[in-house]
Amino acid sequence: MNKRILMNYIERFGLTVALIVSTCAIQRQQVFTQTPAPAAGQTSEDDQFFRGIYREFYDTYRLGPADEIAIRVAGQPDYTIERAKVSPTGSVYHPLLGDMEVAGMTVPRLTKRLTEDMSEFLINPKVSVALLEANSAKIGVLGDVMHPGILIMNKPMNVLEALTASGGVADTGDKSGVVVLRQTRDGRAQTFKVNVKRILQGKAGPEENVSLQAGDTVIVNGNTKKKMAYILSLAGFGSFLSFIGGAAR
């Protein structure tokens, strides 16, 4: 074979290999771009933890005025309601059962009650209830935050999310000693201390960012003179707790 022909063959062969390698590299890059790696620190345990929070929120949420629900009865379109708003008096209207008092009931409890009541008129009814919008659950955020007041908790919310929705902690606030005040159904008070500074630094586990319940009050102590004891002693604080906790009791 002529030496020049041989060199041309080698050069063309090398160019072909280079093109193949380059194409494969581009394809690998596209695959990696389309399938990003999991975020740092994200684990299946964390995912299960947050799924559990959502499940607990919807299973334990107590219905109240302005909430919206769906009532579905399999094979019974006349008795299915895709969207019903709880009235100010805590009831919804159903074409088969009439006005029903639902305030204070959880979705599982309401599903059981509807199934029992409809069984008087229908054979083995398959009833499901869905919480579409949660508008009655309220929490309070007080102390050294930018916008203290009342928040509507229409989805699962933790301490950091509540503080963010309130404009964040003020410069005078103590991020290391945030307190969650919770009243139990038997009237007892519970307190949880949350180190928001650790959470912001990424040093805290997901369970340290306490999940809130309807009626909770988040209190940010001042790093100077304002303390939780001062806030608790304010006139009208008891009425404030009763207001935000009304739908949850």
Quote the pLDDT of residue 44. 63
pLDDT score, position 67: 93
In one-letter notation, the amino acid at residue 121 is: F
177 vs 147: CA distance, rounded Å? 18
User: What is residue 224's predicted lDDT score, i.e. its pLDDT?
Assistant: 56
Question: In this predicted structure, what is the pLDDT of residue 1?
Answer: 46
> Whose structure tokens read 């695959």?
31
Report the C-alpha gap between 128 and 170 in whole angstroms: 45
In the sheet with 217-220, reading across from the earlier edge strand, the strands are 149-152, 138-143, 217-220, 178-183, 189-194
SS3 content of the chain, % helix, strand, coil (to 5): 40, 25, 35
Nearest to 214 by CA among 178, 183, 177, 237: 183
**H or E segment to which residue 242 belongs:** helix 237-245
Instruction: Encode pLDDT of 5-16 as tens digits.
Output: 444 443 443 433
Q: Which of 58, 63, 53 is nearest to 110 (CA)?
A: 63
Q: What totals of helices (H) and strands (E) does the chain contain, helices first?
A: 7, 10
Please report the pLDDT score of residue 184 as a whole number. Answer: 77
Label residues 36-67 b or e (16+ Cβ within 10 Å = b).
Answer: eeeeeeeeeeeeeeeeebeeebbeebbbbbbb
Q: What pLDDT score was predicted for residue 238?
A: 58
pLDDT score, position 33: 30
Q: Please, what is the end-to-end C-alpha distance for the chain in angstroms? A: 95
pLDDT the model gives residue 38? 42
- Render pLDDT for 180-197 as a digit per residue (tens, 0 to 9): 999 877 778 889 999 999
Tell me the domains of the chain and their CATH numbers. 62-133 (3.30.1950.10), 138-248 (3.10.560.10)
Per-residue DSSP letters for 88-122?
TTSEEEETTTEEEE-TT--HHHHHHHHHHHHTTTS
Task: Give the pLDDT confidence score for residue 52 in this predicted structure.
Answer: 74
DSSP-derived 3-state class of residue 66: coil
Enumerate residue ranges in the chain where pLDDT < 50: 1-3, 5-42, 235, 247-249
Strand partners, 131: 69
Kindly report the pTM of this predicted structure: 0.59
pLDDT of residue 241: 57
